[in-house]
Amino acid sequence: MSARENGAREPIPFLDLKAEYREQREEVLAAIEAVLDAMELHNGPQMRTLEEEFARFCGARHAVAVGSGTDALLLIYAALGLGAGDEVIVPSHTFIATVAPLAFLGATPVFVDIDPLTFAVDPELVEAAITPRTKAIVPVHLYGHPASMSRIQQIARRHGLAVIEDACQAVGARYQGRPVGSLGDAAAFSFVFTKNLKGYGDGGMVTTDRDDLAEQVRRLRDHGRVSKYQYAEFGLNCRMDELQAAIVRVALRRIEARTERRRQIARRYTEAFQGLPLALPQELESTRHVYHLYVVRSERRDDLAAYLNAAGIATGVHYPIPCHLQEPCREYGVGPGSLPETERAAREILSLPVYPELTDEQVSRIINDVRTFAGSEATVRAVA
């Protein structure tokens, strides 16, 4: 069947938010109604209960709800005192929000290349990037796969550096049996509506085992407040509202089942794509990949994306322009060619649909069309 013929079929979106909402509609509406009946719209019982539930989920002593994943990173950076003259080691292959809060605080991001298997920062390159001004390392658990935390922690301890997990894409992922969010000094999570665990707008969370960091993040998210009209320091308005907290609590009750469905779809893809001229996602030993995205690599990425689009299958590219090549990062002096694995990945990556609401028939259709593009005659039957 040609791509033109495939295009007449029902489109498969990259993410189907309406389908997810239909599954949990009654629970969500009941949660929203409870919030509106109580009219405690921020710093209320939904937020406090979500913090308790999420801390248990991550195996962390503290969870502090905030307005977004970007807020979570900004408040962690600020609570650690990062600022002018400080350097922080980060990957360039990440969403810009990993980097932007550092710039707002006056700190300098130091970009390090990625491990091409995991898309996370390559720990073997981290140590060479450390200088007397380095204060922290930010491993990003990209696409749902944990970074190599044991090696990063060894380096951090040797040099007295903080480790900040950017876990915004990796809720529920595990490394050596431990949940992400419990592996560094602090971790940032995002609950924006595109994430595996989502609200219906923005939302985020900071997790940490450090009492001092948790206390300061709580102050900073609410103007530096210690009582109604008393402020210990200047802060920001980075609170999570009660409506989002209530919705995320509904989603948290379903996250394990939804993660297993993502992993099931990913296994089908990986089994079906063996032998094709594609580099497939890896789940390294002693890790649990939660497949926020299922990212393949192809030297014909743009052709594959165009073929699937013509067949009615939406795809994504995360991220086509690395952070170090973005306009606001020019001042850091890291030009084209400086991070070869990052730049090669940006040319080759393609994200396929992997959300839990995909039907087995839709998964089979995606598999068949990818295989057809790759020149294979094989077909895949829908799971009964």
Q: pLDDT digits over 348-370, tens only?
A: 999 999 999 999 999 999 999 99
pLDDT of residue 379: 44
Q: Cα(206)–Cα(73) distance, rounded to whole angstroms? A: 8
pLDDT class for 6, splitting at 50, 70, 90? very low
Residue 343 CA neighbour count, 13 Å, CB half: 11
Alpha helices, H only, the chain: 3-6, 17-38, 45-58, 69-79, 100-105, 123-126, 149-159, 211-220, 242-252, 255-272, 301-310, 340-348, 360-373
Q: Of 177, 109, 107, which Cα lies nearest the Cα of 140?
A: 109
Q: What is the DSSP string of 99-142?
A: THHHHHHT-EEEEEPBPTTTSSB-HHHHGGG--TTEEEE--B-G
List domains and CATH numbers for the chain.
21-112+120-252 (3.40.640.10), 256-373 (3.90.1150.10)
Task: Return the residue matching tokens 């380095």.
Answer: 134
Residue 242 CA neighbour count, 13 Å, CB half: 16
Q: Is the pLDDT at 383 greater than 50, yes or no?
A: no
pLDDT of residue 375: 79
Q: Is the pLDDT at 382 greater than 80, yes or no?
A: no
pLDDT tens digit string along 155-174? 999 999 999 999 999 999 99
Q: Of 376, 200, 356, 245, which Cα lies nearest the Cα of 290?
A: 356
Q: Is the pLDDT at 326 greater than 70, yes or no?
A: yes
pLDDT of residue 8: 62
Sequence-distant (≥ 6) Cβ neighbours of residue 148 within 8 angstroms: 115, 118, 120, 123, 139
Q: Of 28, 43, 285, 69, which Cα lies nearest the Cα of 171?
A: 69
pLDDT tens digit string along 223-242? 999 999 999 999 999 999 99
pLDDT of residue 354: 98
Sequence-distant (≥ 6) Cβ neighbours of residue 247 within 8 angstroms: 28, 31, 32, 199, 200
pLDDT class for 377, splitting at 50, 70, 90? very low
pLDDT tens digit string along 61-102? 999 999 999 999 999 999 999 999 999 999 999 999 999 999
pLDDT of residue 384: 30
Say what the pTM is. Answer: 0.95
Would you give the DSSP letter of residue 239?
A: P
Q: Cα(371)–Cα(377) distance, rounded to whole angstroms? A: 7
pLDDT tens digit string along 175-200? 999 999 999 999 999 999 999 999 99
Percent of the chain with pLDDT over 90: 95
Q: What is the mean pLDDT of residues 107-125?
A: 97
Q: What is the mean pLDDT of residues 103-115?
A: 98
Alpha helices, H only, 164-237: 211-220
- The residue type found at 108 is T
